[in-house]
């Protein structure tokens, strides 16, 4: 290995170390590492200014194909994935406004009232709600409001919210694996390799739904005794808040709901219309801000700018590994030990992705693996499509196993702790690991049956 490759690996590992350590917000080590890759590796050792321009990847932003292209056009550019950045930013704007109008709180209170405040029924329906909503909205956002509403209901109904939050986290990650717009790893895989919403829905969607149903059964039987014993008398529903109390402004509520439905339709049909997910993100933001009036500054201030900066830094660091040839060597290693056998490669990617995503956030792992998938797919007998679906399922579902495996896990457990319900690693993994192994086993069987 040459000096540039060694330095790129060291910078990457140091970034991971500080992200896992958790003392600093993850955007700080990501940006520092990105600057180190540019200054030390590209400019200092390689003296390659084109490599810097390559990882910044600004040229596609002014190209027609970035905003509108046919489904069969695949972007092979490395570096910052602006489709992912712009799409997530646009969805953040839309979701912030939806939260302000009370949409999510209204939905949760409506569901609770619909099942007559039965605690076990709420567990099952909230898991289903978490999984389905995570197919269209980033799972981080889903947990932000769902965990908060769950804790509010737990105070009213006198039950322990921790089982609910663990189950909701699991459901959000499994549901997010079903579509391109669900979990961030899928957005990265889809925009990098040219897949559409319907591609994910027809390939990862079926097993995601099966895994979600299996998880609902698992958590129902695991928690049923505990929740039954905490069930209070709910015959007097008048003492509980009405769903309508969550709506801050009825007109704004209706407009936000319509915008959300429009965006969902655009996502589902974007392979037919040619609209890229980046453009759909811009449309979501423009429509939302156009009807926000004086609330525009408030909405923009509430955006998670730190997460967007984290993505930018991460893409640059992974771009450093790609441009120095490190990822090509990793792909060659996997190809050699598997002997080019598709079943072996699928098994390796699924369980390696799951194990790695349980230990570190699945977003950087997915961003690292995408170029490796490209390299592996160049070998005879290895299909990029089947490898991509394997990576998506492994990172999304494997991230469930620990409290730090996915961003939604971190968000859900942090909200619980803030409200006085600390979820330790032991208690979390006691339930999450068996459920994760169950879901991954189903994924292994599905991938073997469908693609091998």
Euclidean distance between CA atoms 218 and 431, whole angstroms: 9
Mapping DSSP onto H, E and C, the string for 170-212 reads HHHHHHHCCCCCCCHHHHHHHHHHCCCHHHHHHHCHHHHHHHH
68 bridge partner residues = 275
275 bridge partner residues = 68
Question: Pick the residue with more confidence: 342 or 105?
Answer: 342
- Which residue in the block uniquely carries the two structure tokens 């889903």? 142
How much of the chain is helix, strand and coil, in % rounded to 5? 80, 0, 20
pLDDT-based confidence at 74, cuts 50/70/90? very low
Average pLDDT score over residue span 88-92: 85
pTM of the shown model: 0.78
How do residues 266-277 score in pLDDT, each as one tens digit?
888 887 888 888
pLDDT attached to residue 290: 93
421 pLDDT exceeds 60? yes
List the alpha helices (DSSP H) in 57-101: 64-67, 82-100
How do residues 201-217 score in pLDDT, each as one tens digit?
999 999 999 999 999 99
Euclidean distance between CA atoms 219 and 165, whole angstroms: 11
29 pLDDT exceeds 70? yes
- Which residue in the block uniquely carries the two structure tokens 């500080």? 18
* Cβ atoms of 122 and 168 closer than 8 Å: no
Euclidean distance between CA atoms 408 and 64, whole angstroms: 34
Q: Please count the helices (runs of H) and the strands (runs of E) in the chain.
A: 23, 0
* Cβ atoms of 106 and 114 closer than 8 Å: no
Question: Pick the residue with more confidence: 145 or 413?
Answer: 413
Q: Percentage of the chain surpassing pLDDT 70?
A: 95
- Which residue in the block uniquely carries the two structure tokens 């050792």? 45
- Which residue in the block uniquely carries the two structure tokens 């169950």? 438
Secondary element (H or E) of residue 49 = helix 49-56
Integer angstrom CA distances of residue 293 from 234, 250, 298: 41, 15, 10
pLDDT attached to residue 237: 60
Q: Left, alpha or beta for 47 (phi > 0: left; psi -120 to 50: alpha)? A: left
pLDDT attached to residue 439: 96
Closest CA to 148 of 431, 418, 446: 418
pLDDT attached to residue 77: 54
pLDDT-based confidence at 72, cuts 50/70/90? very low
Euclidean distance between CA atoms 281 and 296, whole angstroms: 17
Closest CA to 95 of 275, 263, 297: 263
50 pLDDT exceeds 80? yes
What is the pLDDT of the chain when averaged over all its residues?
Answer: 86
pLDDT attached to residue 219: 95
* Cβ atoms of 400 and 127 closer than 8 Å: no
Q: Percentage of the chain surpassing pLDDT 90?
A: 34
436 bridge partner residues = none
pLDDT attached to residue 185: 87
pLDDT attached to residue 144: 73
Q: How far is CA 293 from the centre of its chain?
A: 30
Structure-token pair, residue 384: 């990029």
The number of residues making up the chain comes to: 452
Euclidean distance between CA atoms 36 and 278, whole angstroms: 28
181 pLDDT exceeds 90? no
Average pLDDT score over residue span 78-92: 84
Closest CA to 244 of 130, 380, 147, 101: 101
Average pLDDT score over residue span 82-98: 85
pLDDT attached to residue 233: 56
Average pLDDT score over residue span 414-431: 85
Average pLDDT score over residue span 366-390: 86
61 pLDDT exceeds 50? yes
């Amino acid at each position: 290995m040459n000096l540039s490759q060694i330095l790129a690996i060291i910078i990457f590992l140091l970034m991971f170390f500080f992200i896992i350590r958790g003392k600093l917000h993850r955007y700080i080590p990501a940006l520092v590492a990105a600057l180190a890759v540019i200054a030390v590796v590209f400019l200092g050792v390689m003296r390659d200014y084109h490599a810097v321009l390559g990882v910044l990847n600004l040229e596609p932003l002014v190209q027609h194909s970035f905003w509108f292209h046919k489904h069969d056009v695949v972007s092979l550019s490395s570096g910052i994935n602006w489709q992912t950045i712009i799409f997530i930013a646009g969805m953040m704007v839309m979701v912030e406004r939806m939260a302000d109008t009370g949409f999510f709180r209204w939905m949760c209170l409506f569901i609770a009232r619909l099942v007559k405040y039965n605690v076990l029924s709420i567990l099952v329906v909230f898991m289903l709600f978490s999984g389905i909503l995570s197919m269209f909205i980033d799972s981080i956002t889903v947990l932000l409001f769902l965990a908060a509403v769950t804790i509010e209901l737990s105070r009213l109904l006198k039950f322990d919210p921790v089982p609910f939050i663990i189950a909701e986290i699991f459901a959000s990650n499994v549901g997010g694996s079903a579509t391109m717009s669900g979990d961030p790893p899928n957005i990265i895989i889809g925009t990098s390799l040219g897949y559409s919403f319907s591609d994910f829905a027809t390939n990862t969607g079926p097993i995601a739904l099966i895994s979600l149903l299996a998880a609902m059964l698992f958590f129902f039987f695991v928690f049923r005794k505990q929740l039954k014993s905490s069930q209070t008398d709910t015959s007097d529903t008048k003492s509980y808040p009405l769903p309508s109390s969550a709506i801050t402004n009825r007109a704004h509520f209706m407009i936000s709901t319509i915008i959300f439905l429009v965006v969902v339709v655009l996502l589902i049909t974007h392979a037919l219309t040619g609209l890229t997910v980046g453009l759909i993100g811009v449309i979501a933001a423009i429509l939302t801000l156009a009807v926000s009036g004086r609330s525009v500054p408030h909405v923009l201030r509430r955006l998670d700018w730190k997460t967007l900066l984290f993505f930018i830094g991460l893409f640059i660091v992974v771009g450093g590994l790609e441009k120095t040839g490190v990822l090509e060597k990793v792909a060659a290693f996997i190809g050699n030990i598997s002997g080019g056998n598709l079943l072996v490669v699928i098994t390796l990617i699924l369980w390696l992705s799951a194990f790695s995503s349980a230990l570190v956030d699945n977003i950087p792992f997915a961003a690292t693996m995408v170029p490796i998938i490209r390299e592996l797919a160049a070998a005879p007998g290895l299909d990029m499509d089947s490898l991509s679906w394997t990576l998506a399922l492994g990172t999304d579902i494997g991230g469930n196993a620990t409290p730090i495996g996915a961003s939604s896990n971190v968000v859900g457990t942090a909200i619980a702790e803030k409200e006085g319900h600390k979820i330790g690693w032991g208690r979390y993994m006691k339930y999450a690991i068996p459920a994760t192994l169950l879901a991954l086993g189903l994924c292994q069987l599905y991938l073997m049956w469908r693609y091998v």
